[in-house]
Amino acid sequence: MSRIVAVVLSCVLMAACGPRQLEPDAAFDCERCADWNEPIEPFRIHGNTWYVGTSGLSSILVDTGDGLVLIDAALPQSAVQIEANVRALGFDPLDIRYILLSHAHFDHAGGINALQRYTRANVVVSEDSATVLRTGKLQEDDPQFAHGPGKTTFPAAKVDGVLPDGETLNVGEVTFTAVYTPGHTAGATTWTWESCALGECQDVVYAASLAAVSAPGYSFAASGAAAQLTDSAARIAELDCDILLSPHPFFFGMHDKLERRDDGNPFINSLACTFFAEQALGWLEQRLASER
């Protein structure tokens, strides 16, 4: 009898039998993590597309009309903010049906495990991202591999589906296309979909990082990642693109654009993808010069 009482009491006191709760993983420690994880109010970017990330790490929510899709989940310690941001916009985080990923680094994939356990969403990623996400450990071909496991390993997550290059995922009224854009990581994936508002539809591009950053000793030229980045930049420049988003808000000038919201929708800019690609090629040139 006393055991039953104990179980009932633990249900009451600890909400163990109550609604599901987000159980975040241990915080990831890095030089820029605290800055990146500064909170920011969630907001609508356009139509079905919302920003639910932190000040320095993007997380995008798409309302498909039949459930929600989340793209990227920032750091392990960002998961609580993402969940709260989804709620603050009036959505139920438990309606997240899919979680997609730009690339399997700790600062974009770190929050997936906790959010997946909480929402029970299906995690769908590229082939190479799947290999990393299943273990939380970088593969040897990753430019940042040599930083070592202490600086790169993040909570592993269950991969429910792998989407090949150019294939689509249909959720509700929205079709997401996976465009493989490797170079920053082998599995880096750009996602595209359409957002409509007031009878006007815009092509949204969530462009994976094209940044040529690495651990010491890595060569983008020798590894072939420079050639991949060049091809990936060309692919992104050629996409139908009205709204550019990317894993770090500074890549698409988010904070500046938020200041200019009174003047139409500053996120709509059909030249943004071309500019993003050109900027990335400029950074790559500098990097290759320093490697020579």
Task: List the beta bridge partners of residue 229.
Answer: none
Query: Which of 47, 187 has the CB closer to Zn ion?
Result: 187
How many angstroms separate the CA atoms of 132 and 203, rounded?
A: 29
Tokens 């979909």 found at: 193
Write down the least CB distance from residue 197 to Zn ion, Å. 31
| Whole-Å CA distances, 36 to 26, 77, 179, 247 | 16, 11, 26, 11
Smallest distance from the beta carbon of 82 to Zn ion, in angstroms?
Answer: 18
Site for Zn ion in 78-107 (CB under 5 A): 105
By beta-carbon proximity to Zn ion, the closer residue of 171 and 233 is 233
Q: Between 70 and 75, whose beta carbon lies closer to Zn ion?
A: 75
String of contacts with Zn ion for each residue 101-140, x by CB under 5 A: ----x-----------------------------------
Closer to Zn ion at the Cβ: 129 or 192?
A: 129
For residue 1, CA distances in Å to 6, 16, 152 come to 9, 19, 49
**Shortest Cβ distance from residue 248 to Zn ion (Å)?**
9
Beta carbon of residue 106, minimum distance to Zn ion (angstroms, whole number): 8
Contact 34, 58 (CB under 8 A): no
287 binds Zn ion (CB under 5 A): no
CB 209 within 8 A of CB 102: yes
Q: Which of 208, 187, 191, 209 is nearest to 127 (CA)?
A: 187
Q: Considering beta carbons, is residue 46 or 105 the nearer one to Zn ion?
A: 105
Token look-up 């179980």 returns 7
Which residues are CB-contacts of 146 (< 8 A; sequence separation ≥ 6)? 214, 215, 216, 217, 218
Active site positions, annotated: 103, 105, 107-108, 184, 218, 248
Q: Are 70 and 191 in contact (CB under 8 A)?
A: no
Q: Report whether 60 contacts 74 (CB < 8 A).
A: no
Count the site residues for Zn ion by CB under 5 A. 1
What is the smallest separation between the CB atom of 244 and Zn ion, expressed in angstroms?
17
Taking CB atoms, the residue at the shortest distance from Zn ion is 105
State which of positions 219-278 bind Zn ion (CB under 5 A).
Answer: none
Question: Are 88 and 121 a contacting pair, CB within 8 Å?
Answer: no
Give the separation between CA 52 and CA 73, rounded to whole angstroms. Answer: 9
DSSP 8-state class, residue 230: H
Q: Which is nearer to Zn ion, 193 or 251 (CB)?
A: 251
Q: How far is the CB of 105 from Zn ion (least distance, A)?
A: 4
What distance lies between CA 242 and its chain's CA centroid?
19
User: Contact positions toward Zn ion, by CB under 5 A?
Assistant: 105
